[in-house]
Amino acid sequence: MLVFAVETSCDETSVCILNHDKKILSHIVFSQKEHIKFGGVVPELASRAHLQILQHISQEAFNKSKIDIEDIDVFCATCGPGLIGGLLVGSTFAKSLAFGSSKAFVPINHLEGHLLSPTFNNNIVFPCISFLLTGGHTQIYLINSVGNYELLGETLDDALGETFDKVAKLIGLSYPGGPEIEKKAKNGSARTFNLPNPLEKQRNLNFSFSGMKTAINLIVKKHNFADQKFQENLSASFQEKVVSILESKLALTIKHLNNRKINISQICLVGGVASNKYICEKIKRVAHNYKCSVVLPRKDMLSDNAAMIAWACLQKYLKDPISNLHFKASSRLKILNDSK
């Protein structure tokens, strides 16, 4: 079986051709650079870029894989959540190819693509915990099996990836902010600034990051953010506070599951923020205290990409081979558990 996948939920334009043996025949991720000067993604620009880029990289993918479009068995695309313009461009493109080839089309939830991405390169023992850390979402899931997910907690305001970007912009770093802050933090002191944790006294599994952003904005107004040492120390302080929050939520999650008599041995870190090595190493140390291992997707499946969409499609279609050309993309698409 051959799957052709499209991912256009934000500012990455990506396509992938994957077979049932988990062999990636072609995988292209095009990161749109035009958003850098704005310090964040401009939805209208992203949609137009997807429209232009998709045609070129799709042809490139078929040429590179030496696969004809007639050989594809299933077409799929991210249909939400995300920026609606990009979702419409990507899903309409993939639907058109499916319709023209008289083949199946499978709509894929972007978040489910992230949640299933570690199963591509790891032997996952269910049930497991997944920390989904992206630019648009920060959530904790209990994954009982493929297609069976329970949302345990989520951010009440900004997502973690979005917070990294906003903090980076406040202290004069470029977009995307995550890699810039991680790099600056290596030479900074994490004890320089005491940043708030808005939900510290609430023993639930939700997150809040807007308070940290506000605190950093006030700090920046009192300092010269062009000073390199200031940038390094504030980056280190912010990154350390993020780690502290994630560690406390992990401890609360495991306690919550123990109270429900649910034992887990693996903690998955997925999404673009999981590419932060400092955060991953810190979480691994905490997980070890609970006799859990930390698993991550392949490096090229951490940020938004079509390979994880193709892999999610393959797993879902083999389980339930239904085509849905009439599925409507939604910017707020929820993860639904499979009924079967």
The string of DSSP letters for 258-303 reads: HHTT----EEEEESGGGG-HHHHHHHHHHHHHTT-EEE---GGGTS
Give tens-digit pLDDT for 123-168: 999 999 999 999 999 999 999 999 999 999 999 999 999 999 999 9
**How buried is 40 (Cβ within 10 angstroms: 0-12 exposed, 13-18 middle, 19+ buried)?**
middle
Task: In whole angstroms, give the CA distance from residue 235 to residue 183.
Answer: 9
Query: Rg of the Cα trace of the chain?
Result: 20
Task: In whole angstroms, give the CA distance from residue 190 to residue 235.
Answer: 8
Q: What percent of the chain has pLDDT over 90?
A: 89
Residue 224: per-residue pLDDT: 73
First-to-last C-alpha distance (Å) of the chain: 22
Give tens-digit pLDDT for 169-219: 999 999 899 999 999 999 999 999 999 988 888 889 999 998 999 999 999
Is 2-115+301-319's fold the same as 125-296's? Answer: yes
Domains of the chain, residue spans: 2-115+301-319, 125-296
pLDDT at 296 over 90: yes
Query: What is the reported pTM?
Result: 0.95
* DSSP conformation class of 207: B
Residue 327: per-residue pLDDT: 97
Give tens-digit pLDDT for 219-236: 999 887 778 999 999 999
pLDDT at 89 over 60: yes
- Residue 253: which of 158, 123, 130, 114 has the closest Cα? 130
Encoding tokens for residue 258?
């123990």
- Residue 1: which of 21, 30, 27 has the closest Cα? 21
Q: What does residue 147 show for φ and ψ, rounded to 5 degrees?
A: 90, 0
- For 115-120, what is the mean pLDDT? 98
pLDDT at 13 over 80: yes
pLDDT at 62 over 50: yes
pLDDT at 339 over 60: no
Among the residues of the chain, which ranges form H helices? 43-65, 84-101, 110-116, 160-170, 177-185, 210-222, 228-259, 277-289, 306-319
Encoding tokens for residue 189?
């002191």
What superfamily in CATH does domain 125-296 come from?
ATPase, nucleotide binding domain (3.30.420.40)
pLDDT at 260 over 50: yes
Residue 33: per-residue pLDDT: 80
Position 110 confidence tier, pLDDT thresholds 50, 70, 90: very high
Residue 340: per-residue pLDDT: 45
Range scoring the smallest mean pLDDT among 72-86, 93-107, 197-211:
197-211
- For 292-306, what is the mean pLDDT? 97
- For 301-314, what is the mean pLDDT? 97
**Fold observed for domain 2-115+301-319:** Nucleotidyltransferase; domain 5 (3.30.420)
Average pLDDT, the chain: 95
